[in-house]
Amino acid sequence: MKREDFEILVLEALERIPEEFRRKMQNVEILVEPQSSPSSVLGLYQGIPFPKRGIYYSAVLPDKIVLYQKPIESMCRTRQDIKRAVREVIIHEIGHYFGLSENDLS
């Protein structure tokens, strides 16, 4: 899949996130990278989770949510499978942004 097409799926998945959550997402950027290391990682959240931001949280670089295109595509057979996987990875990583652990997300 072309990167531009994959990025459209990411934007569509973000648009489906309920407004009450999107409104609370501040100082975070969503990126698409071709490959992860190790190659089995589908997405990654890097930053300070929203609940841990205190009154001194300012002048910091944005948090990052990265989706890794090739690993996601490699586990999918169809465009619909990719679309579903992108949505699941976005939701998972946004969950980390809101302070949820892997156990919480399971």
pTM above 0.75, yes or no: yes
pLDDT digits (tens, 9 = 90+) for 14-62: 999 999 999 999 899 999 999 988 878 999 999 999 999 888 888 889 9
* CATH T-level fold of 3-49+62-105: Zincin-like (3.30.2010)
Distance CA(30)–CA(41), nearest Å, equals 16
| Strands laid side by side in the 28-33 sheet | 28-33, 63-68, 43-46
Query: What is the per-residue pLDDT for 40?
Result: 81
What is the model's pLDDT at position 43? 96
Domains of the chain, by residue range, sit at 3-49+62-105
Average pLDDT value for residue range 90-105: 94
